[in-house]
Structures are given as C-alpha cells and as structure tokens.
Amino acid sequence: ELAESSDRLKSQAKELKDAHSQRKLAMQEFSEMNERLTDLHSQKQKLARQLRDKEEEMEVVMQKVESLRQE
C-alpha cells in the first residue's frame, strides 16, 4: 500500500509538473500575443492619423481646384 501511495504521488507530481509547464507556455504565448496586439493598435492609430492628415490635404486641394474653376 505504501508503494502504491508513493507511485500515485509520483504520478501526481509528474502531472502537476506537466500542467505547470503548459501553463508557463500558455502565459508566454499570451504575453507575445498581447505585445503583438499592442503593436498593431499603435500602428492602427498612426495610420488613422496619417489618413486624417491626407484627407485634410485633399480638402485643401479640392477647395483650390474649386476656386480656380470659378475664376
């Protein structure tokens, strides 16, 4: 019975170690994905600003074109 208990404990210890390794890997993957998401969000904001700037430039050009047409 003692040997049985010892084997059971060894088995549980191995399962716990495996679960810990899987959790550690999952946390690492989560961290990497979170960092990637942060980078993409930052890139999206930068592109949105660039788009607004270009739209403003286009509006100015369109006003100039309209002004020239009316002359």
pLDDT per residue as tens digits for the range 19-46: 999 999 999 999 999 999 999 999 999 9
Chain position carrying tokens 């942060």: 38
Cα separation, 12 vs 19, in Å, equals 10
> Which ranges constitute the DSSP H helices of the chain?
2-70
Can you give the pTM of this predicted structure?
A: 0.66
- Angle 55-58-61 (CA atoms, 0-180°, nearest 5)? 155
pLDDT of residue 58: 98
